[in-house]
Amino acid sequence: MPEVSIVIPTMNEGASIGAVIDEVRAALSGRDLEILIVDTDSRDGTREIAEGKGARVIREPRRGYGRAYKAGFAAARGLYVSTLDADLTYPADRIPDLLRPLEEGRADFATGDRLTRLDPAAMSEMHRIGNSILNVAFRALFRHPVRDSQSGMWAFRRDLLPSLEVVHDGMAFSEELKAEVLRRGLRLLEVPVDYRARVGERKIRSFRDAAENLAWLFRKRFGWTRRPV
């Protein structure tokens, strides 16, 4: 069993995935790890680059951020699971800082906080406004002083997964996962991380995604979510 499973969703990330894998290996040098690339029908060589770098590629033909992570989590074998995006926005060299509080027993779930020291050039103004609205809503609904409810860089013990009921298949998966951790009485810890401008095509739809995520927060808080099939 590997010590750490790194799960990275991809869709046409050929321009950056090789560098991301290199960063992960450098950050976790000396650890027994597996890198899982969950790919959604990439047509730009993403899978071939990842396999050439020694990653295990899982094909998930159905689109959706949440779907990709569910597929990756189901395939992960590590004691710990950590995640980041494939576009070089998240700093892989901070993964050990997310793992450390888990290993020391200070947290059950660690998540990167992009916003505390955010470089304005790394995120559009509309994206920042959307994040601020969602963070205020999350804090009010779930009574937790979260700073970055939408972060996609996490680390947690894999044995937590069976206790978490996370059902969203899209971008709201990230906030739902954190809400579920809190709902189960688990300890969530935020770790400030740098956030960089992405490499490759931008896929986030700032206004539409923010509106859908806001609606999902209310549905999650009041139990108006469907259960997994």
156-183 confidence digits (pLDDT tens): 999 999 999 999 999 999 999 999 999 9
Q: Which H or E run includes 181?
A: helix 173-183
Give me the pLDDT at residue 229, please: 33
Least confident of 33-37, 191-195, 197-201: 197-201
Give me the pLDDT at residue 29, please: 96
Task: Please answer whether residues 146 and 138 qualify as being in contact, where contact means their C-beta atoms are separated by less than 8 angstroms.
Answer: yes
Is residue 154 helix, strand or coil?
strand
72-127 confidence digits (pLDDT tens): 999 999 999 999 999 999 999 999 999 999 999 999 999 999 999 999 889 988 88
Let me know the angle formed at the C-alpha of 48 by 96 and 80, rounded to the nearest 5 degrees. Answer: 25
Q: Which domain holds residue 178?
A: 4-221
Q: Is the pLDDT of residue 228 over 50?
A: no
Any domain includes 227: no
Least confident of 20-24, 58-62, 109-113: 58-62
Domain count, the chain: 1
Q: Kind of pairing, strands 56-59 and 4-10? A: unpaired
Q: Assign residue 223 a region: left if phi > 0, alpha if psi is -120 to 50, beta otherwise?
A: left
Any domain includes 10: yes
Q: Is the pLDDT of residue 128 over 50?
A: yes
What is the arithmetic mean of pLDDT over 59-84? 96
Q: What is the domain-level CATH number for residue 71?
A: 3.90.550.10
DSSP of 182-213: HHTT--EEEEE------SS-----HHHHHHHH
Q: What is the mean pLDDT of the chain?
A: 93
What is the arithmetic mean of pLDDT over 57-69? 95
